[in-house]
Amino acid sequence: MGSTGDFQLLCLENPLLDIQAECDDAMLQKYSLKPNDAILAEESHMPLYDDLLSRKHALIAGGAAQNTARAAQYILPADSVLYIGCVGQDEYAEKLRSACAAAGLRVEYRVDDTQPTGRCGVVITGNNRSLCTHLAAANEYKMEHLKSPKIWDLVQKAKFYYVGGFHLTVCVPAVMALAEEAAAHPEKVFVMNLSAPFIPQFFKQQLEDTSPYWDYVIGNETEAAAWAEAQGGDVKGKSVPEIAMHMAGLKKVNEGRKRTVVITQGTESTVVAVQGEEKVREYPVRTIAKEEIYDTNGAGDAFAGGFVAGIVEGKSLEESVDMGQWLARLSIKELGPQFPSPKQTYSKA
């Protein structure tokens, strides 16, 4: 089954304006940030955004799932991807709308009158990036927006739902509504991304509530290890393939579709576990020369977009992984989670 447009893929998470700047270790130390991490901002982090704006910087339509939505639309036919979330009533929201329109991505934002549009400070040091997110309006997404006649009609028409784990800090009922809608219709697919180590660590129950609905779950090796650590028991401290196998075997609501777990490992092979299979599959990544790497920020989001585009187009698991790796490879040659123009066409490795 190939994509026919008609907004078959619906993505939900936290729309943010990414403020990206190349910095040094002193900036990390100033705000107690780690070189390659993602955290929610506290009061002590608020001056960071002006600090970044005072440097040479780039403003990008961000938020992990919005990056993934742009990435998937980069590959898929026009009018294939729809993104929802919450923004403020300000110029930054207009910048987000303009950037998404340029990428061919349809957005249906809830607009909050009290909070500004969310921001993500991206501190780039070498090939590392540290993300510090002030959710602001992104934290104000409401179930009534999802269930409004216009939006729910779009939900019902979509066949694939992609949710970033970051939204588990915002509106769990909206995540569960999409999960349950997919489970109620066997032809629909629910995809979850672990997003960051703090999600399984500090939002363990919220994540567990979604797990029976995962048709696909995507994460990286650090997120997988954090999930295993939070689970405890026999899975704690296990290898990535063992963790992936354990995740694949969790209880599932829609038993007619086997769960697929996809764990990326940077330059190491992508590990895939399919429910019921006795061993994992491993797919070597596409090689790239070190001097071609400009910015790894958003590489995981790009991989997820390429992978999900493959699933939407009915490609094999192997080809879908390759599509993810191809798009991630393109992304890390750009500043931030962006893709080359003119648009390039996917070809198998």
**Tens-digit pLDDT profile for residues 128-170:** 889 999 999 999 999 999 999 999 999 999 999 999 999 999 9
Amino acid 96: pLDDT? 92
In the structure encoding, which two tokens stand for residue 325, read together?
Answer: 């790796």
Residue 285 makes CB contacts below 8 A (sequence gap 6+) with 266, 267, 268, 269, 270, 325, 329
Q: Which pairing describes strands 260-265 and 268-274: parallel, antiparallel, or unpaired?
A: antiparallel
Amino acid 2: pLDDT? 60
| CA 157 distance to own-chain centroid | 22
User: Which residues does the chain have with pLDDT short of 50?
Assistant: 1
Q: How far apart are CA 153 and CA 202, in angstroms?
A: 33
Q: How far apart are CA 67 and CA 190, in angstroms?
A: 18
Residues identified as active-site: 301
Amino acid 264: pLDDT? 97
Give phi and psi for 248, each to the nearest 5.
-60, -30
Amino acid 327: pLDDT? 96
Give this prediction's pTM: 0.91
Q: Which residues pair with 123 in a beta bridge?
A: 21, 130
Give the Å distances, CA to CA, from 232 to 204, 223, 236, 259, 321.
Answer: 12, 14, 5, 21, 29
Amino acid 290: pLDDT? 82
Q: Indicate the DSSP class of residue 125.
A: E
Amino acid 178: pLDDT? 98
Amino acid 5: pLDDT? 72
Percentages of the chain per state (helix, strand, coil), in multiples of 5: 40, 25, 35
Which tens digit of pLDDT belongs to each residue from 265-298? 999 999 999 999 999 999 999 888 888 877 666 8
Give the side-chain half-sphere CA count within 13 A for 131: 25
In the structure encoding, which two tokens stand for residue 265, read together?
Answer: 């490992």
Angle at 214 between CA 209 and CA 220, to 5 degrees: 100
